[in-house]
Amino acid sequence: MVNRVKSGTVIGLNAYEVWVETDVVNSLPAFSIVGLPDTAVNEARDRVKSAIKNSGYTFPSRKVVVNLAPADLKKNGTGFDLPIAIGVLIEEEILTSEQVKEYFFIGELSLDGIIRPINGILPLVLGLKDSGAKNIFVPMQNVKEAALIDGINIYGAEHLTDVVGHFVENKITPAKIDIQKYLNDDSDQEYPYDFKDVKGQQKAKKALEIAAAGGHNLLMIGSPGSGKTLMAKCFPSILPPMTLQEALELTKIYSISGLLKEDKPLMVQRPFRAVHHTASANGIIGGGSSPKPGEITLAHRGALFLDEMVEFPRNVLEVLRQPLEDGEIIISRAKHSVKYPAKFILIGAMNPCPCGFLGDKEKNCTCTDFQINRYLSKLSGPLLDRIDLQIDVPRLTPEELLNTNSIEESSAVIRKRVINARKIQSERYKNENILTNSELTSKLIKKYCKIDTASEQILKLAAVKYQLSGRRYDRILKLARTIADLDNSEHITQNHIMQALQYRMLNLEEYGK
């Protein structure tokens, strides 16, 4: 008689319910798994057989056939070990179908029956809950992560015998977790880099503050030693704390990537991903035969830092254009495609020329015009159009560098202004399904970025002088909206427009002339 045990699988960030059908037929001893399994699922045959025997139970001496339905859905990972074992134990009459019909089972089995953790438990549990699941068995090491989801009973088990015991004699108590406790862990976070340790560079600091407040992309151009990398490393210290929605989004990504720590099941700190210029396009956007998230997805709701940005191959930089515009990346393969979120702040840093001293007041540039043009041409116009803030970061003078009496603003003070600006945006866009000004669409820009006649005239003059594209025009308005929010201003004024133009109008072709 065929029995059915419920389980699930994750493709991308989406969960799908899977029925594990088990049948024992009169034939020579064998164990086969069908239903489009990958290599890891096929290897479950040996793991399940040894785990059942080493747990003190009997294994059928006939042919065991396991079907993973629906058969046209790709099954991957090791999470099907436990439901397959439960199906076999039902065939051996150790358990009954009636006992397990209201339960889902997820987990990898070791040869001695210990239940090992798997990746992607949070998106899997969240998806199964949406499909109607009420009770789910997961590995004990995944319990804290799975219990982040309210409205569903999560049972943690360390061994196959624990699962059997739950239905026979010793009931396991569903796990409970206080998600607010983890969210509050970010309040006392200490950062290794603080803006109070950065001398001067007030314009660059203000640009980073605007980027953090509105979720805008930023490019810093300056000579070696001007402090670009240090200020970028300070950037996480002024980012606002994450909301529960953002924390769950990010945790799902890190869960399927296997980057969550057992003692910290919820991602509460915004990510800061610093990528080396030798990274491949697949490493940055994601990919592989079974697509996995790349750096842009791991930086979701945080920042992606590209130091020495023009040293990246041009084809690698160009793949950033679509996710910068849409806030997501779609990875297509022959049999399926997956979509990952990628709403990150791009922080780029670069020298103005190969030697690094074009336009420097203290040291002369040794590069030819041809070398400079070839160097700067690695950043295409369409890519620069998607970078809201483009600023020059000059080197400090010896007097500024040696001045020990200057008192710089700390990250904590800047962060308070950023948090206040984010609260204004959160309230303004509570019915628009967006969180920051950088996510405004053309339709929403007309609604929330209204300007007076004088401001409109300034923009018209800028549009003619700088030959603004439609995208660049919209981004100037979004940037002005963020500057107004930092000023606690309900309306965008001429001053806000002029500041936005100042941060936006750096022309690489004319740089240093």
Sign of CA dihedral 330, 331, 332, 337: negative
> Cα separation of 373 and 371, whole Å?
6
202-214 and 411-428 are packed helices; what angle lies between their axes, rounded to 10 degrees? Answer: 30
Tell me the per-residue pLDDT of 432-471, one tens digit each, with 9 for 90 and over. 989 999 999 999 999 999 888 888 899 888 888 888 888 8
Question: Rounded to whole angstroms, what are the CA distances from 235 to 205, 274, 348?
Answer: 9, 12, 12
The residue among 17, 26, 38 whose CA lies nearest residue 106 is 17
> Cα separation of 320 and 303, whole Å?
13
Which domains, from first to last, does the chain contain?
3-177 (3.30.230.10), 186-433 (3.40.50.300)
pLDDT value of residue 511: 53
Tell me the per-residue pLDDT of 150-194, one tens digit each, with 9 for 90 and over. 899 999 999 999 999 999 988 999 999 888 877 776 655 778 899
> Cα separation of 38 and 450, whole Å?
54
Q: What are phi and psi of 75, to 5 degrees?
A: -110, 125
Instruction: Report the relative pairing of strands 272-275 and 303-306 from DSSP bridges.
Output: parallel
Q: What's the CA dihedral at 82, 83, 88, 89 to 10 degrees?
A: 70
pLDDT value of residue 506: 60
Tell me the per-residue pLDDT of 55-64, one tens digit each, with 9 for 90 and over. 999 999 999 9
Tell me the per-residue pLDDT of 8-57, one tens digit each, with 9 for 90 and over. 999 889 999 999 999 999 999 999 999 999 999 999 999 999 999 999 99
Q: Which long-range contacts (CB under 8 A, 24 or more apart) does 49-52 make?
A: 50/111, 50/112, 51/81, 51/85, 51/109, 51/110, 51/111, 51/112, 51/113, 51/160, 52/85, 52/88, 52/89, 52/113, 52/160
